[in-house]
Each structure stands twice: as structure tokens, then as C-alpha cells.
Structure 1
Amino acid sequence: MRGLCDAGRLDDAVHLLYSMLRRISQKGCDADVVVYRTLFYAICAVGRVALAEHLLAKVLLKGLRYPRRRRAFRPPELQGRSLEDMKRIIDDALVSGGVRSLASYKAMVEELYAEGRVGHADKLFDEMIQRRFRPPVSMFEAKIAALCKEGRVEDGARVVEVEMMERDCVPTVRAYNLVMDGLCKEGKATRAVGYLDGMDRQVGCVASKESFEVLVDGLCSEGRFLEATRILERMLRRRYWPQSAIFENVIRGLCSSGRSYEAVLWLEEMISQGKVPQVDVWTSLVSMVCLVDDLVKSSLFWDVLEHEPTYC
């Protein structure tokens, strides 16, 4: 359906929809709501609003399984609305106008979060909960991802710490990773480390390789290179092998802060895993060694001057 709409073949897409009407009458709209909305959006975008109204009414009537509800059915009106208003009406009608199901709510809400329409997604999310549907973990993850993408990391953290707990939904590794990544991008890597500790305390939630890499990158970007090495050590104890870029960031950072001994140790660890450092990593190490060598020579020179006898 999406491919036909993107190609502008709306008439073929309409024929495809007609072939799906029997499925709708048997199962309701269900998770296919996101398929139908694609077509309705495309038809409205080209100005064929009357056709969109007709097809939307047909889909909704097929999804109404009980005669009493059919008699009370009133098709939604799209004429005279802005495109954004038409989209909102279509979304609401597809989820609430037919036979309501967890699958249709889940599909629509996750799609809206992915599109960045957080306010509308939240409205349908709350409506779903009021109708006593229990939201799956994936819906919370979609919400966290959307909030973090908008820069609302604190709201995303609240979803993990409060909303999921209130719904007896155990936070997943992906949920934690999304919040940690958002915090690191805002320069709050130290706080993000606390979520790693929280995962260690939570039964059945084991930090992933991505969890550690996000934290190491975040700490390095803030210049906290020694803290980054401690996270890297925890990562290796879990037998997660970092990418070359992770090692290189740490080594460059240690070189820039004059930690030559630690930098060489992590270089050895990197090479022992069969990874070849980039040229600029070697350059950082050589520059640091040369700087130390110059400082040593300079120190010896002044020592000689201080102890050199003076002649009158």
C-alpha cells in the first residue's frame, strides 16, 4: 500500500483496499489501521477528500460487527478541514470508530510516536488505558524514543521511573538505553551511569553491549576519560568486545590528559583483540611521548645549570 501511494498509483491502492474489506469484516481493523491511513492520507493530500470520506466510512462499517452499532454509525466528516485536521480525524476514527482492539491502538500509537506526533499519540495512549487495555512494553519504548528525540529526556526518564512502574511494566534494556543515550547527548553522562547500576540491581535486565558503548562515548565527550575506562573495564568483564572507535576515543582522551601509562595499556588491550588503531591514535601517542621526552630533557638542562659552578 505504501509503495503504491508513494508511486502515485492511488487507483491501484484503492483496488487493493477493496480486496482487504473481507478481512476487515472478519477481524476488524486491527493492526492494519496504519495501512489504511497511508491510503487515506495520500488521497486527501491530492484533494480527493470525498473519496477518502467514502472509503473511510466503508472501512469503519466493515469493522462494526454488531447491527445496533451500524444503525447508530455516523461517518466522520473531512470536507473543509485542513490536512493536519483530516489526518487527526482519520487516525481517531480508525482506532475508535470500529471494533477497538489492543492491536489497533498499539499500531497507531507507535506509528504516531515514530512520526513525532507526541501529543496525538499521548491522547490515544490515555484513551487506550481508560478502556482497560494494558499497554505493551513496545509502546512505552516508542514513547521514550519520541520524547528523547524532541529533547525531552527528563520526560523520557519519568516514563521509565514512574509510568512503567505504575502500569506493572518492567523497564527493558532498550528503554534504559534510550534514556541513557538522551542523557549523554545532553551532557549528563554521570547521571546516565546510575541507570547502568539500576539495571544491575533489576532481576532479568542485563545491560547490553550498546549500554556500555553509549556510556563510554558520553563520558569521553565530557572529558571524563578515567570514568570511561572504568565503564570499559566493566564492559570487558561482561565479555562484550568494544568496537575500534570506542578504544580509540578512550586512548585519544587519555593522551590529551597526559595519562600515558593508561593509554598504552588500552592500546595493548585493543591490539590483543585483533583491532588496528587509526593513524591519528598512533600520532596522539607519539606526540605525548615526545612531549614527555622534551619535558624530561628540559628538566635535566635546568638541573645542570643549577649545579654548574660559576667562575669569576
Structure 2
Amino acid sequence: MAFSQSISRKSFPFPPLFTKTHSISSSAPPISEDSLVSAAVSILKHHRSKSRWGHLRSLLTASKNNHLTSSQFSQITLKLRNNPRLAIRFFHFTVQHSLCSHSLLSYSTVIHILCRSRLKSQALSVIKSAMCVFTETHEQNTAIPVAILEALIKTYRVCDSAPFVFDLLVKACLESKKIDLAIELHEMLKSKNVFLRTDTCNSMIELVSKSRGCFAGYDLYRNIFDLDVDKVSKKQIGVKVVSPNVNTLNVVMVGFYREGLVDKVDEVWEEMERMGCVPNLYSFNVLMAAYCDDGRMEEAMRVWEEMENKGLNRDLVSYNTVIGGFCGVGEVVRAEEIYREMVMKGIESTCLTFEHLIKGYCEIGDVNLAMLLYEDMYRKSFSPESSMVNVIVRALCDKNEVSAALEFWSMAAKKHEAVMKKENYESLTRGLCQQGKMEEALKVQAEMVRKGFEPNSGLYDTFIDGYMKQGNETMASKLRKELLSKQMS
């Protein structure tokens, strides 16, 4: 029976070449290209999975070149398009055993077949693999992602692919931090009247904002959505109108918020309303955070009330944002009111909730309440940031409770691996010297040096004064000489 003939499942599960009564002879004539493709497809489709791969290798050994060409691989894979998982296994098998001279076109075939079955993560993985494998292209000065795009366009229709295949290519560039190439691909596709999904565009804008600044992100946003061309002109020149969504505007707002440009956040909010984009909970939280960080609590509470009027349920981020805002301006009582409302709503506190309140009480000098909150926080198994530990140490030192500050610090360093600031080392040392506890002060100062903080002249003066109060002229004189030597060196 010839290879080109179809094989019935009832008669033979695979070509006669591989029945027990036949074997491949080294003197057998080479298999033709058409027969090779047909035989490989039959083995892959009808053979049992355990022996499939061994027979496939035997088939390729008997072929003219002992391996598949890129074109042959694509022909075989296209016949497996309704079984994409088998297609990807076949692809990995040929790569693992070097059984195919793969090209960008054969990679593209696999990518399209995975996309048409909505296997996005696998398709993305193959795209990334292609970007690594093909470090050079036949055309000089052509970047690999651009070459991959050209190959995907060539094979798109024959593979009956899905449009988001181009989004995956751009996503691969973004994840590889190839920003300029991602933008170039977008422009190339746009020139062919192929438009990326809005969420892909949002990812581009977000990455540009983070890496190149909020204004670069804003410019890209306006360019992607043709916001500097009015709708009438777009229709006249035949430009497709693609509109941003609320998540696009959120990304732009976050870019300005990250750099502290509250007025720009306001402008984007107004732009959102002009475009008819309905702000979501995330939008309100970003606007409110911008006001809170800027100390504009009256405007933040206006947003807070508007959220309720819009029927939006405030979440943990909303509450933590407002609590932090009130603590930041010293209105801890208001922050406590919001905290109690949060608890009544059944929203669980986080480490950040406690840190806001603790820092707030420390700032207004109520260290006792701050310590009570810390104990409550610790009971809930939260581990505070070093910044919060430093705030408590500083507040205790300011209250002249140096022993309590030292005890708290020793505990926090062990339990939370907290790192103390230089200023707090100096405050502890100064306080202990003033109390005449010179030995403890020396231990703190030694720890400070081990952490890489060199003592300044003010700290030397503190020790000298401490020893003078004890009547220890010898140590005071020794420190004066050491300080003078440092100043002259």
C-alpha cells in the first residue's frame, strides 16, 4: 500500500511500513516528501502515545535528509490543528531531538494553531522561544520580533488563526522589556488596519509610564488612541476609531499619581468623564490616594462620599487610604472613626492599617496608644516594616523613655529583623549618655558602627559630656584626642 493512500483505522492503525512483518532496511529507497508527510500524520494521529515517537524517529531516519524541513513540519502540524496539544508535543519532540530545520514560518504555524484553540500561555511560550532561538534574521537590521510578525502575517490565513496572536507577540516584547519594539509592532499593525486589544495597549502605556515617566506614558496613550485627531478627520481619512476604556485612564492616572502630580490626576479624571468612561472603584481609590498623599483631606472625603453615592462598596484599599490620609495630617481621631467603621463593615485590618494608626499616634506624641496598637498588631501575627519600628523608637526617645525604646528595639530586631536608622542610633546613644548609662551607650554605638554608620562629632560630644558627668576625665580626654585626630585626617 502506498504512503499517499489513506489508511482506515479498522484495517491498520499506522502505515504498513511499520507493521511487525516489515522493517526499514538501510538499502531501502528514500521516502518521497508527500509520503513522508502522510506517514508522519498517520503515526501521530493513529498510533498509541507510548510507541508513537519511536516509530516517528524511525520514519525520519528513512527519509532523504534524516529530518524534516520547515515546510514539511508545517504541513504535518496543519493537519493536527484540531488537536493542538498533540501539535505542541510534536513541536517539542522535533526540537528536543533535532529532527527539524525549524524556521520562523514553522514556529508561526505552531503559534497560530495554539492561538486558534485559545491556548494563550503555550502560544506565548513558543513566541518567547522563537525570540531567543532566532538571534539573527536573513534580512540585516531586522529585529527578531519584527521578523516574527512578518512570519505570523504570512501564515495567518492558512492556519485560520485568532487576532490576539499579535497581542501575544507584543506582550512577549513587553515582558522582555523591549518597549521600542512593542511600539514599533503596534505601529506596523496599525498601518495594516490591525488593532491591538485595549488591554495590550494599556500594558504598553503602563510599562512606558513606569520606565520612562508619566509624561512619556501620557504621550503614548494619546498616540495609540489618536486623541489628537478629531473624529471627523478620522472618518475623512479612513482611520478606525479605537477608544480607550476606564482601565486605560486608570493606568494614566496612576502614572501621574506615582510622581506626585495631583493636578494631572485631576485632569485625567475630568478627561475620563468627557469620554464617557464610567470610573470604577479602582479609579476612585487612585484619585482619593492622590488627595490623601497631598494632605487634601476635604477633597479626599468628597471622593469618599461620591463613591457611596455611585453605589460602590468601599474596599480595604479605600479604608486604608483614608486612614493613612488622616493620620498623615495629624487627625488621628478621624482616622480611628474610619477604622471603627471598617471593622463594623466586617473588613479585616491589614498590617498597613495598624502601621498608619501607630505612626499617627506617634506623630501626635501618644506613644502609649501606639504601643497598645502594636501589641494588638503583634497578636494578629503581623510583622511591621522597619519604618514603623523606627517611628516608635523615635517617639519613645522624644518622650525621654530611652530604656523602653532600647528594649523595644532589641525585641523588634529579633522578631521582625527590623533595621534601625542612623538617627535613632544617635538618639538612643544620646539618651543613654544623658542618663549616665555609658556602658549601654557604648554597646549601641558599637552596633551602629557595625551597621556601617560612622559617629559624627556631635556623638563624640555626647560621650564626652557623659563621661565628664561621671568624673571620668581619662575617657573624656581620650575621646577628645580621637575626635581631633579624625577632624585633622
> What TM-score does the superposition give when structure 2 sets the normalisation length?
0.42
Tell me what 1:59 maps to: 275
Tell me what 1:94 maps to: none
Task: Within 5 Å, give how 1:94-243 maps onto structure 2.
Answer: 99-129=278-308, 131-160=310-339, 162-203=340-381, 205-238=382-415, 239-243=417-421
1:215 counterpart letter in structure 2: I
- The DSSP-based 3-state class of the residue aligned with 1:23 is coil
Whole-angstrom CA distance in 1 between matches of 2:321 and 2:273: 29
Residues 58 and 271 of structure 1: CA distance in aligned 2, closer, same or farther (over 3 Å): closer
Q: What is the aligned residue count?
A: 240
Residues 33 and 266 of structure 1: CA distance in aligned 2, closer, same or farther (over 3 Å): closer
Instruction: Judging by fraction of residues, say which structure has more helix.
Output: 1
Q: Following TM superposition, by how much is the alpha carbon of 1:229 offset from its aligned partner in structure 2, in angstroms? A: 0.8
- The DSSP-based 3-state class of the residue aligned with 2:302 is helix
Deviates further, 179-188 or 246-255: 179-188
Percent of pairs with identical residues: 17
Q: Following TM superposition, by how much is the alpha carbon of 1:195 offset from its aligned partner in structure 2, in angstroms? A: 1.5
Note the alpha carbon deviations across 1:226-258, whole angstroms, 9 max, x for none. 111111111221232323222111010111222
* Cα contact 2:330–2:363 (8 A) shared by 1: no
Residues 290 and 113 of structure 1: CA distance in aligned 2, closer, same or farther (over 3 Å): closer
> What TM-score does the superposition give when structure 1 sets the normalisation length?
0.63
Q: Following TM superposition, by how much is the alpha carbon of 1:283 offset from its aligned partner in structure 2, in angstroms? A: 2.1
* Cα contact 2:394–2:427 (8 A) shared by 1: yes
Note the alpha carbon deviations across 1:72-98, whole angstroms, 9 max, x for none. xxxxxxxxxxxxxxxxxxxxxxxxxxx
Residues 57 and 136 of structure 1: CA distance in aligned 2, closer, same or farther (over 3 Å): closer
Structure 1 counterpart of 2:250, from 31, 52, 55: 31
Structure 1 counterpart of 2:242, from 22, 25, 31: 22
Query: Pairwise CA RMSD of aligned residues?
Result: 3.9
Whole-angstrom CA distance in 2 between matches of 1:288 and 1:38: 53
Task: Within 5 Å, give how 1:254-293 maps onto structure 2.
Answer: 254-293=432-471
Note the alpha carbon deviations across 1:62-120, whole angstroms, 9 max, x for none. x3xxxxxxxxxxxxxxxxxxxxxxxxxxxxxxxxxxx3522332233223333433233
Q: Following TM superposition, by how much is the alpha carbon of 1:274 offset from its aligned partner in structure 2, in angstroms? A: 4.6
Q: Following TM superposition, by how much is the alpha carbon of 1:192 offset from its aligned partner in structure 2, in angstroms? A: 1.1
Q: Following TM superposition, by how much is the alpha carbon of 1:219 offset from its aligned partner in structure 2, in angstroms? A: 0.9
* Cα contact 1:113–1:146 (8 A) shared by 2: yes
Note the alpha carbon deviations across 1:245-278, whole angstroms, 9 max, x for none. 2211101011122222322232233344454322
Q: Which runs of 5+ in 2 are unaligned?
A: 1-208, 232-240, 257-262, 474-489
* Cα contact 2:272–2:279 (8 A) shared by 1: no
* Cα contact 1:31–1:103 (8 A) shared by 2: yes
Whole-angstrom CA distance in 1 between matches of 2:390 and 2:315: 27
Q: Which runs of 5+ in 1 are unaligned?
A: 43-51, 64-98, 296-312
Whole-angstrom CA distance in 2 between matches of 1:57 and 1:274: 52
Q: Which has the higher contact order (CA 8 A, sep 6+)?
A: 1
2:250 counterpart letter in structure 1: A
* Cα contact 1:114–1:146 (8 A) shared by 2: yes
Tell me what 1:96 maps to: none
Whole-angstrom CA distance in 2 between matches of 1:109 and 1:277: 42
Residues 18 and 181 of structure 1: CA distance in aligned 2, closer, same or farther (over 3 Å): farther
Whole-angstrom CA distance in 2 between matches of 1:151 and 1:266: 31
* Cα contact 1:189–1:219 (8 A) shared by 2: yes
Whole-angstrom CA distance in 2 between matches of 1:150 and 1:141: 14
Residues 158 and 289 of structure 1: CA distance in aligned 2, closer, same or farther (over 3 Å): same
Whole-angstrom CA distance in 2 between matches of 1:245 and 1:101: 43
Residues 168 and 33 of structure 1: CA distance in aligned 2, closer, same or farther (over 3 Å): farther
Q: Following TM superposition, by how much is the alpha carbon of 1:29 offset from its aligned partner in structure 2, in angstroms? A: 7.5
Residues 106 and 261 of structure 1: CA distance in aligned 2, closer, same or farther (over 3 Å): same
